[in-house]
C-alpha cells in the first residue's frame, strides 16, 4: 500500500502546487491591474487640472 | 477596468470539489478495488498511473489541435488554449513518469529501464518541456505562437508511438493488463475524476492567460498616452 500512497501523494502535491501557482499569478495580475488603474486615474486627474488652469 | 475580478466566492467550491474528488479516488482505489493476485497492493498504482498517462496523451493531441487551429486562423485565442494545455499536460506527463517509476521499482526492481513505452513516454515529456522552455524564451506574440505550434505538431507523432509501443516493439511494459470488471470501474472513476480536475484547472489557467493579455494591452495603451 506504501507505493500506492506515494503515487497518490505525488498527484496531490502536483495539484496543490499548480493551484498555488495559479493563485500567485492571479495575485500578481491583480496588483498590476491596481497599479495601472491608479496610474490612469492620476493621469486623468492631471489632465483635468491642467484643463481647468488653462 | 472592471474586466478582471477574482471570483473569491468560487474558490471554496473549487477547493472542495478538488479535495472531494481526490479523496474519493484514494478511498475507492484503496478499499473498494479488489487486490490483484500476483502483484498485490502495488497494482493499485495503476489507477493513478493510467489516468495521468491518458491525460498526458490527450493533452498533447489537444495542444497539437490548438496549434494547427492557430496556424490556420492566426488567432491568438488558440495559442492561449495551447499554453494552458501545455502546462497541465506537462504536469500529467511528469506524474506519469513518477508514478510509473514507483510501480517499476516495486514490480521490476528498478526505477527505470530502456523499454520502448518508457522511452517514448520520456520523449513526450521532453516535447512538453521543450515547448515550455521555448515559450519562456520568447516574447508573447505571433512568433512564439507559430514556433510553438510547429514544435507541437512535430511532437504529436510521438503519441501513437507511446500508445502502440507495447504492441509494435518488444519490451517488458504490460500490454493491456486483464482486469476484473470492478477494477475497470475504479479505473474509469479515477480517469473521470482526474480528467474533471485537470479540465477545471485548464479552464482557469486559460482565463488567467486571457486576463494577462488584456492587462498587457492596457499597459501598452497607458504607455502610449
What DSSP string describes A3-30? Answer: HHHHHHHHHHHHHHHHHHHHHHHHHHHH
C-alpha distances in angstroms, B53 versus A39, B69, B88, B126, B185? Answer: 47, 24, 12, 15, 17
Distance CA(B84)–CA(B212), nearest Å, equals 13
Distance CA(B159)–CA(B152), nearest Å, equals 11
Mean pLDDT within A10-17: 91
Q: How close does chain B come to A53, measured CA to CA in Å?
A: 21
- Lowest-confidence region among A9-13, A22-26, A48-52: A48-52
Is the pLDDT score of B126 beyond 50?
Answer: yes
Mean pLDDT within B81-92: 96
Confidence of residue B8 (pLDDT cuts 50, 70, 90): low
Mean pLDDT within B190-214: 91
User: What's the whole-number average pLDDT of chain B?
Assistant: 88
Say if the Cβ atoms of B1 and A33 lie within 8 Å. Answer: yes
A42 Cβ contact partners less than 8 Å away, ≥ 6 residues apart: none
By the CB < 8 Å criterion, does A13 face chain B? no
Of A11, A30, A32, the CB nearest to B6: A30
Q: Residue A21 corresponds to which cell in the numbers above?
A: 501557482
Of B41, B49, B215, the CB nearest to A1: B41
Confidence of residue B71 (pLDDT cuts 50, 70, 90): very high
pTM score, whole prediction: 0.87
Of A4, A12, A26, the CB nearest to B6: A26
- Which of A6, A11, A45 should one mutate to test binding to chain B, selecting the residue with the greatest count of B CBs within 10 A? A11
- Of B55, B49, B60, the residue nearest B177 (C-alpha): B49
Say if the Cβ atoms of B88 and A18 lie within 8 Å. Answer: yes
Distance CA(B189)–CA(B55), nearest Å, equals 14
Q: How close does chain A come to B101, measured CA to CA in Å?
A: 10
pLDDT score of B96: 96
Q: Residue B30 corresponds to which cell in the numbers above?
A: 484503496
How confident is the model over B162-195, as pLDDT tens digits? 999 988 998 888 887 677 888 888 888 889 889 9
Distance CA(B86)–CA(B148), nearest Å, equals 10
Confidence of residue B198 (pLDDT cuts 50, 70, 90): very high
- DSSP-assigned letters across all residues of B143-180: HHHHHHHHHHHHHTTHHHHHHHHHHHS--SS-SS----
Pick the residue from chain B with its C-alpha nearest to A47.
B225
Distance CA(B6)–CA(B190), nearest Å, equals 30
Domain residue spans of chain A: 24-54
Longest Cα pair distance anywhere in chain B, in angstroms?
A: 72
pLDDT score of B5: 45
How confident is the model over B148-157, as pLDDT tens digits? 999 999 999 9
Amino acid at each position: 500500500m506504501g507505493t500506492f500512497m506515494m503515487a497518490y501523494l505525488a498527484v496531490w502535491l502536483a495539484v496543490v502546487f499548480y493551484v498555488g501557482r495559479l493563485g500567485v499569478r492571479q495575485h500578481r495580475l491583480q496588483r498590476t491591474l491596481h497599479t495601472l488603474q491608479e496610474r490612469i486615474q492620476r493621469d486623468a486627474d492631471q489632465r483635468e487640472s491642467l484643463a481647468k488652469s488653462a | 477596468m472592471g474586466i478582471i475580478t477574482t471570483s473569491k466566492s468560487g474558490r471554496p467550491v473549487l477547493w472542495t470539489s478538488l479535495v472531494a474528488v481526490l479523496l474519493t479516488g484514494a478511498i475507492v482505489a484503496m478499499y473498494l478495488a479488489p487486490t490483484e493476485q500476483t502483484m498485490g497492493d502495488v497494482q493499485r498504482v495503476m489507477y493513478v498511473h493510467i489516468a495521468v498517462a491518458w491525460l498526458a496523451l490527450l493533452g498533447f493531441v489537444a495542444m497539437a489541435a490548438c496549434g494547427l487551429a492557430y496556424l490556420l486562423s492566426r488567432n491568438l485565442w488558440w495559442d492561449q488554449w495551447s499554453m494552458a494545455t501545455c502546462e497541465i499536460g506537462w504536469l500529467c506527463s511528469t506524474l506519469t513518469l513518477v508514478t510509473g517509476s514507483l510501480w517499476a521499482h516495486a514490480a521490476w526492481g528498478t526505477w527505470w529501464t530502456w523499454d520502448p513505452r518508457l522511452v517514448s513516454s520520456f520523449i513526450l515529456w521532453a516535447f512538453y518541456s521543450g515547448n515550455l522552455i521555448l515559450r519562456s524564451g520568447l516574447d508573447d506574440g505571433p512568433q512564439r505562437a507559430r514556433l510553438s505550434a510547429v514544435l507541437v505538431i512535430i511532437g504529436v507523432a510521438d503519441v501513437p508511438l507511446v500508445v502502440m509501443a507495447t504492441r509494435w516493439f518488444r519490451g517488458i511494459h504490460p500490454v493491456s493488463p486483464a482486469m476484473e470488471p470492478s477494477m475497470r470501474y475504479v479505473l474509469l472513476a479515477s480517469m473521470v475524476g482526474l480528467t474533471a480536475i485537470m479540465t477545471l484547472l485548464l479552464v482557469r489557467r486559460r482565463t488567467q492567460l486571457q486576463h494577462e493579455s488584456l492587462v498587457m494591452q492596457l499597459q501598452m495603451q497607458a504607455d502610449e498616452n
